[in-house]
Amino acid sequence: MEFIYLIIVVLLFFLAGSDLIVGVTNDAVNFLTSAVGSKVASFRVIMLVAAIGILIGAVFSSGMMEVARKGIFNPGEFYFSEIMIIFMAVMVTDVILLDAYNTWGLPTSTTVSIVFELLGAAVAMASIKFMMSDGGITIGQFINSSKALAIISGILLSVAIAFTFGALIQYFARIAFSFNVEKRIKYIGAVWGGIAFTALTYFMLIKGAKGASFMSGDVKDWIELNSLSIIFYSLIGWTLILQFLFWIFRINILKIIVLVGTFSLAMAFAGNDLVNFIGVPIAGYNSWEIFSASGSDNPDGFLMTALGGPVLTPEIFLVAAGAIMVLTLYFSKKARSVLKTEIDLSRQSEGIERFKPTWFSKLLVRSSLKFSNNVKQYLPDSLTGFIERQFEPVKENKRVVDKPAFDLIRASVNLTVASVLIAFGTSLKLPLSTTYVTFMVAMGTSLADNAWGRESAVYRISGVMAVIGGWFLTAISAFTVAFLIVLLFFYGDLYAMFGMVVVVIYIIYRSHRYHQKSTNIVDEDVQSVRSLSEDNIAEQSKITIITNLQKVIEVYGSIINALEKEDKNELKVLKADIDSITAKTKYMKDNINVIVDKLRVGSVDTAYYFVQVLDFMREMLHSISYINNPAYVHLDNNHKPLIKEQIDELKQFNIILEELFSKITSSIESCDYTSRDQIQSIFTQILELIELSNKKQIKRIKNGVVGTKNSMLFMNIINETKYLSLNAVNLYKSQRDFVIVKNKK
């Protein structure tokens, strides 16, 4: 029996490794966003700084492990076998939950997830014990419910405080520095640096080092009693040191602030949040050690009272966990997806918005505009004019690739404000979440920095609300899933445990494949836009058009075959292909400003015809989509199929469309546009054939040969075929004009 539980401990550590990977993937956004978004250094340098912070913080984390053993439930009320079921359920739930958030690219709180998983699992086990008892016990005696309530209040507190302070500090920082940072940094840069470094010093002492098992209580007490002195002398000392370094070595003070801030947040993350990933497996290991040392052979009758006492965490576990986190940072693509979400929501420039506007975001933006206009009426024009000049962006070279999402001023404010709030909240024993604070500070600074302009505000606010909603969903889903898995493990015994581990492995594998595929698609789209230039745009345009024309006519023929065979699965596969091509074309159209910026001055006509090419290409893809989707719905609803006469007519359309597309393709490929009359002649034949088919269909309807659903589908296909061929001809003409104008340059 003891050997079985040893295997469970091994499984816990296996799950801990997976949890470290998925957890760090999500929490990396806390300490990397500011550095990566501002491009303070190369990605490798940023990762190196964060890695050092993580390794140091991991060693400091030993004192925080007790939350997994006794922070949420009372271990002395549970038997050894019950404790192991709770821990297994928590780890399985945590891996699945965090991996789902990573796949969606949404940041969430690992603290909230682990707390509510422990709570849900403990409540489930307590409920089982309550139902199996003869009375005399209550569920409340098993649970430390005050911790859960503190976390919930911390969510609301973190969101409100972090957003407000981030917005206020950024607003005044921008007024002080404006966007022309280089001009004013030499006068007030050292002062700002002194404030920032003081905050980061205090943060590392209060938040980063307080969990270190090797730090004595006297040292911690001294830090707490002398906090004001530490702050005062740090402010004076850092200001003088930074001013001296600027005078002598001309160092970039802002870069140092951002890199040190990244280090301090990474250290604090590893020091305090490592418990979220390995606290439960270590608690399981401690439980097994206690049970083994007791000499008991009854896991169902041995109470885990000893687990409530102080237990030191072996340093080897901490170092190994730190190493896994560092490797994950370097190799995880999902971490970059989560990063991208926060950076996109806070970037200074406009671009493609991931989130759709909601009624709430529209109402909030509208109300904010009215409030702002009302406030301006009561302020002197000279004051409002001065403030508006500070927020005027510096003109940049639009041809610069990979511009920072925001500047170093905002990055330094993000890190400084987040560090101060987390350190201050910790000193007051407030349950401020690192994720919530860093994310909401970044959103507040974005708002104050005019990054949420009228072109993007409704989308950004929707994104923020989606993330915040996800935080609450984390708590609910963590509690519910952990609760259900405990029931599964209790009644399914070891078979359920081992089976669930296999399910976890499969889920992670599938989500990894899905994320990798979607990431590769996005990377290809981004690369296709970045690779365009004045010299190769004609060639790239030609390749894209030919590829899409060939795909469209191939899909058209496949739709007819699927309708003839009544194969709805084939239509479902075709829909995925069409959506993929449409998404690529949409990405190019949405980034048309980037493409146009790459063209030389005076290339207005070239850009105009290129935009037309994209428009007609998108219309063609819409037409083939409007053919495929109704066809799928028709078959899926088991309506009567098209009759043989209708299928034969559609095959005639396919033959003549193939001829049209072949002419257009060969003409574009050879850049020989003398086939215009032949193409127009084929198009005229298509129109005549459409008119003839419509008349035949009307006759079939009058004779009662076909029903309503049949007629709707067939006439829709005929109508979209007309638009498909028309847009193909227009595409040909626009590409011809594009090439002619381009060759004249």
pLDDT tens per residue, range 364-377? 788 877 877 887 78
Which has the higher per-residue pLDDT, 590 or 397? 590
pLDDT, residue 483, reads: 92
Distance in angstroms (rounded) separating the CA atoms of residues 110 and 13: 18
In contact, 208 and 57? CB cutoff 8 Å: yes
The label of the residue with tokens 């290409």 reads: 617
Cα 688 versus chain centre, distance: 51
CA dist 706 → 552, 703, 717, 718 (Å): 28, 8, 15, 16
Amino acid at 291: F
Residue 431 has pLDDT above 60, yes or no: no
With b for 16 or more beta-carbon neighbours within 10 A and e for fewer, the 64-90 pattern comes to bbbbbbbbbbbbebbbbbbbbbbbbbb
For the domain made up of 533-744, the CATH class stated in words is mainly alpha
Phi-psi label, residue 343: left if phi above 0, alpha if psi -120 to 50, beta otherwise: alpha
In the predicted model, what is the mean pLDDT of residues 583-599?
A: 62
Return the amino acid letter for 612. Answer: Q
Question: What pLDDT score was predicted for residue 148?
Answer: 63
pTM exceeding the 0.85 threshold for the entire prediction: no
Say which residue, 28 or 267, is predicted with more confidence.
267
* Average pLDDT for 379-385: 83
pLDDT at res. 311: 58
How many CA within 13 A on the CB side of residue 195? 13
So where are the chain's domains? Answer: 2-522, 533-744
> pLDDT value at position 597?
60
pLDDT recorded at residue 533: 55
Q: What is the pLDDT of residue 375?
A: 79
Task: Give me the residue label for tokens 């993000």.
Answer: 414
**3-state DSSP helix/strand/coil % of the chain, to nearest 5:** 80, 0, 20
Where do the DSSP E strands lie in 234-383? Answer: none
Does residue 419 contact residue 141 with C-beta atoms inside 8 Å? no
Least confident segment among 124-138, 205-219, 294-308: 205-219
Three-class SS state of 312: coil
